[in-house]
Amino acid sequence: MRPIETDSLYNDVYVRLCEKIKGDPQLSVLLEGVVFDYEPIDGLVPAGTPIALMHKPKLSVIPVSAQYEGQSSCGGELVLAYNVVLEGFHIRSSLRNKIAWRLLYLFKWLTIPISVDEVERAAICIPGVASWDFDGDKQTMSHTIPISFQFMAL
């Protein structure tokens, strides 16, 4: 896999993350019948939410923030944050739990190479603290898994 170049960093990290989720064979079995909210346009801009029926569960990958503090005590690392959201699952769905566990396992070991000024570095993925939100009738729930990619000392 070629390293990501800096001129397309934000988009390339997003695309690689989505490709990794879609490419995991165990996860793809679990995601059968689940709408995956990701569609690149010409390989450049992630957009185009697929049309989903109200009763179909959905997995979304949402960019949240980018932080690059050159004068911080963290050594000038770049941190890109994303939320991976599972929504529309029944409150007692065991499938949602299986998907969430597989996603966390996948993120725990995920690295992405980046090339800055022809020097290759690796970014590590760090899963955050997940949260649950219930709908008004307490019939379905959303499960949000925050993750961040830390590119060390750019």
Written as tens digits, the pLDDT of the chain (154 aa) is: 566 666 777 778 888 888 889 889 999 999 888 888 775 545 544 445 555 455 678 888 888 888 876 655 555 577 888 889 988 888 888 888 899 999 999 998 888 887 777 777 778 888 888 888 877 776 777 888 888 888 765 5
The reply to whether the predicted model has a pTM over 0.85 is no
- 50-56 long-range Cβ contacts below 8 angstroms, 24+ apart: 52/88, 54/88, 55/88, 56/88
CATH number of the domain to which 98 belongs: 3.30.2000.10
Buried b (16+ CB within 10 A) or exposed e, 83-121: bbbbbbbeeebebbeebbebbeebbeebebebebeeeeb
Q: For residue 127, give its domain range.
A: 4-151
- CA–CA distance from 7 to each of 44, 99, 129 (Å)? 12, 33, 31
Look at the chain and report how many structural domains it folds into: 1
